[in-house]
Amino acid sequence: MDKLIFGRYIPGTSWIHRLDPRAKLLATMFFIIIIFLANNWQTYLLLLLFTLLAVKLTDIKFSFFINGVKPMIWLILFTVVLQVLFTSGGETYFQWGPIMVTSQGLLNGVFIFCRFVLIIFMSTLLTLTTMPLSLTDAIEYLLRPLTKLKVPVYEIALMLSIALRFVPTLMDETEKIMNAQRARGVDFGEGNIFQQMKAIVPLLIPLFVSSFNRAEELATAMEARGYQGGEGRTKYRQLHWQTSDTIVMLTFAVLTGALIFLRN
Amino acid sequence: MKVRRSTQQVTLSAVLIAIGLLIPVLSPLKIILEPASFTLASHVPIFIGMFISPTVGLAVALGTTAGFFIGGFPLIIVLRAFTHAAFAFLGGWMLEKKPQWIENKKTSFLFALLIGVVHAIGEVAVVSLFYFGGEMTSAYYAKGFLTTVFILVGVGTIIHSMVDFFISQVLWESLKKNVKEKRDRILFD
């Protein structure tokens, strides 16, 4: 469970670390959209090289990115296997009823795998190189126009920041509770749906109770430190858009143009 | 007092969002009906948020959507999570007006069914978009729209939603005392 790196920042001084969080957030969102333009070897290769270059620029060990993929690997493989077994087209290597392995299916499987992995790498890159608080500042900034519609943007950003901070803590807590319940004989994932429902309740109750207590303590601590909501609140950390951030956005524009040019 | 309410809503929503992000990744209880799969209890944090208030329910639904996006989950999962905002707010609003709807078995079942239908409409709408956009896996197309999207995703979501609702209710009974004190402070301070 420690392998899941959701919301875990790795301090550093790389070029990517120093980028404005708004630029990184916009770039990640943009990447997730333009990846759907890729539909052949050339476009996926271009995106792969681009992602590897970005990963290299972070100065973070590659294993951290692999760890980001691991929790999702079964979901990815499940999707890839379905894609491989049920896609027709091209040369058929194996067929048994509706199940078949074709050249088109294998190609689609590789493409789907690349798509999943590249998206996870990019979003892992965002969370590894950006402090959750900076990420929250960026989300808050990008959502700011919604304040005119009376959307509580500051509270939303703070909520997200606390949630991301709590994910690793709650994960460790979940692991402890699961081990404790296993030691008492609870068998997760065994039996029919009713038995599974019964098995999950002893896991959820302590998790929710301890989480609610944490929320209460956190609210008290925030108020003790003078928290009075977002209105009129000043910021210790100011965001600064620099030339390097503009370069990143221009690079993404060029990448989009290249993908449109290379796709079938 | 208004500040206390706001702070508690923020922190409660935040921990529910964190749990909402964890369950789909860590849950050992997945029911697979190919090509769809259902993670047991994945909606529990949203239902608990809904039981607290419509605002908390909505915040948890939108927060988990943003969390899935930041976490790099596929777009279809992010959009399906976004549709949860509708049933979370509607359910919370209805319970705020008539909390007795979840106090006996018959009305609870009907309420869970109604929420399940609203939930399913959202999920089917998103999956249909991807289905007709050619973005689903071939297994979806092999079995056709009616079987995969309408029956597996639509009916499957209603059942999944109701199962999670009943898990949430059992949980809520246990949490009530703890949460009710907090909720009373949040709502009436």
Q: Which of B28, B62, B73 sits opposite A189 (nearest CB)?
A: B28
**For the residues A128-142, what does the mean pLDDT come to?**
83
> Which residues in chain B have Cβ-Cβ distances shorter than 8 Å to A82?
34-35, 137-139
Which residue type does A258 have?
Answer: A
B187, pLDDT greater than 60: no
Return the structure tokens found at B1: 């007092």
Which residue, chain included where needed, has tokens 């692991």?
A175
Please, is B110 exposed, middle or buried when counting C-beta atoms within 10 Å of its C-beta (0-12, 13-18, 19+)? Answer: exposed
pLDDT band at B184 (very low <50, low <70, confident <90, very high): low
Read off φ and ψ for residue B103, nearest 5 degrees: -95, -15
Please tell me the predicted confidence (pLDDT) of residue A150: 81
Q: Which of B3, B9, B62 sits opposite A228 (nearest CB)?
A: B3
Whole-number Å distance between alpha carbons of A46 and A38: 9
Return the structure tokens found at A17: 């670390």
Q: Give me chain B's average pLDDT, please.
A: 81
Closest CA to B59 of A136, A6, A158: A158
> Which residues in chain B have Cβ-Cβ distances shorter than 8 Å to A78?
37
Mutate to test the interface with B, among A34, A65, A160, A231 (most CBs of B within 10 A): A160
Please tell me the predicted confidence (pLDDT) of residue B72: 57
Please tell me the predicted confidence (pLDDT) of residue B139: 64
Cα Rg for chain B, rounded, in angstroms?
17
- Domains of chain B are 2-188 (1.10.1760.20)
How confident is the model over A136-190, as pLDDT tens digits? Answer: 788 888 888 888 888 888 888 888 888 888 888 888 888 888 888 888 887 776 7
**For the residues B168-175, what does the mean pLDDT come to?**
87
Read off φ and ψ for residue B33, nearest 5 degrees: -120, 90
Contact predicate B96/B139, CB 8 Å:
no
Closest CA to A189 of B40, B43, B34, B161: B40
A208, pLDDT greater than 60: yes
pLDDT band at B7 (very low <50, low <70, confident <90, very high): confident
In chain A, the DSSP E strands lie at 92-96, 99-102
Please tell me the predicted confidence (pLDDT) of residue B189: 45
**For the residues A22-27, what does the mean pLDDT come to?**
93
How wide is the angle at C-alpha A24 spanned by C-alphas A136 and A111, nearest 5°?
A: 120
Cα Rg for chain A, rounded, in angstroms?
22
Please, is A97 exposed, middle or buried when counting C-beta atoms within 10 Å of its C-beta (0-12, 13-18, 19+)? Answer: exposed
Please tell me the predicted confidence (pLDDT) of residue B188: 45
> Which residues in chain A have Cβ-Cβ distances shorter than 8 Å to B8?
215-216, 219
